């Protein structure tokens, strides 16, 4: 029963009951989860939602610090995140991690339309997590049958690419402060869009460790800490365990120096 945080949740695409446990009494409709209107199926009409629901393989629970999948795993499944936070990252050859994106409830992760592909990144549960699993092949087929859906999935992918390019810009051109400000703002915005946090809230849940925040921003945990303290010193925010409070959203936004598109 290795809950060492490194155990594989999926092995070659097969569900591994070690850390990924099926929820047999599915209480809620999955694809039509409360967040749907704002998230994965953001752009997808109800008829697809119902069909997608039919394709669902199962709903699973994954404890904090376990992996949903690893980089080299064959990408057999895609998931919608029902509850909890995931961090998607890619590892360097020396073992250090570079965060790619944080997935919040409603996000769609692991979809890879390439034939015989690996995921290419790992997905780590930051908190306890609930996901709905779909077979990639079912998704492909469904997208193939209906080109409107196919087009909408293409849009999701295009958005992911533009986000990734924004990250390249940050890592290549921005200071540590700016990168941290940007990540925090992005998360804050996303939480509000999904109504996981009130629109006028000044503080938000924040289960990422400072080390993870550093992984996302290309920084050392030590330096991440110093930057957070500096931002606190400037009255911009307060980072506590499991929670972040943003005092001055406008100044933080200005500091982040984001153009359009966040």
Partner DNA sequence: CGCCTTCTTGAGATGACTCAATGGTGGTGG
Partner DNA sequence: CCACCACCATTGAGTCATCTCAAGAAGGCG
Q: Which residues bind DNA (CB under 7 A)?
A: 175-177, 209-211, 218-223, 225-229, 239, 241
Query: Which region, judged by CB under 8 A, interacts with a second copy, from 8-16, 55-63, 172-180, 229-237?
Result: 172-180
Nearer of residues 11 and 211 to DNA, judged by Cβ: 211
The structure tokens 């097969």 sit at 14
Side by side, the strands of the sheet bearing 122-125 are 67-69, 122-125, 86-91, 97-103
Residue 171's beta-bridge partner residues?
none
Give the containing element (helix H, strand E) for 131: strand 129-135
Phi/psi at 202 (nearest 5 deg)? -105, -15
- Choosing from 29, 61, 135, 140, the residue that interacts with a second copy (CB under 8 A) is 140
Could you tell which of DNA, a second copy, none binds residue 24, using a CB distance below 5 to 8 A set by kind? Answer: none
Nearer of residues 116 and 241 to DNA, judged by Cβ: 241
Report how far apart the first and last C-alpha atoms of the chain are (Å, whole number). Answer: 42
- Choosing from 76, 167, 187, 228, the residue that interacts with a second copy (CB under 8 A) is 167
Taking Cα atoms as reference points, which of 74, 75, 69, 79 lies closest to residue 31? 79
Q: Residue 45 has which token pair?
A: 């009409």
- Choosing from 45, 148, 201, 222, the residue that interacts with a second copy (CB under 8 A) is 148
Q: Applying CB under 8 A, which residues contact a second copy?
A: 72, 90-94, 96, 98-100, 112-115, 117, 120-121, 140, 143-145, 147-148, 150-151, 153-155, 157-162, 164-169, 171-174, 217-218, 257-261
């Amino acid at each position: 029963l290795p809950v060492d945080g490194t155990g594989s949740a999926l092995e070659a695409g097969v569900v591994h009951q070690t850390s990924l446990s099926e929820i047999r009494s599915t209480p809620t409709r999955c694809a039509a989860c409360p967040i749907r209107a704002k998230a994965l199926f953001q752009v997808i009409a109800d008829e697809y939602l119902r069909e997608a629901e039919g394709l669902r393989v199962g709903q699973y629970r994954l404890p904090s610090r376990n992996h949903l999948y690893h980089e080299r795993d064959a990408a057999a499944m895609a998931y919608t995140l029902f509850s909890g936070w995931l961090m998607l990252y890619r590892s360097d050859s020396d073992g250090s991690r570079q965060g790619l994106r944080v997935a919040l409830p409603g996000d769609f992760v692991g979809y890879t339309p390439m034939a015989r592909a690996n995921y290419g990144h790992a997905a780590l549960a930051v908190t306890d997590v609930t996901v709905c699993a779909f077979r990639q092949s079912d998704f492909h087929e469904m997208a193939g049958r209906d080109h409107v859906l196919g087009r909408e999935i293409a849009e999701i992918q295009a958005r992911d690419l533009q986000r990734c390019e924004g990250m390249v810009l940050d890592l290549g051109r921005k200071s540590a402060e700016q990168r941290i400000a940007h990540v925090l703002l992005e998360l804050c915005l996303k939480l509000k869009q999904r109504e996981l946090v009130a629109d006028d809230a000044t503080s938000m849940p924040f289960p990422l460790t400072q080390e993870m925040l550093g992984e996302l921003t290309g920084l050392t945990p030590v330096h991440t800490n110093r930057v957070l303290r500096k931002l606190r010193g400037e009255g911009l925010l307060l980072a506590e365990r499991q929670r972040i409070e943003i005092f001055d959203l406008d100044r933080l936004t200005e500091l982040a120096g984001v153009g359009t598109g966040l």
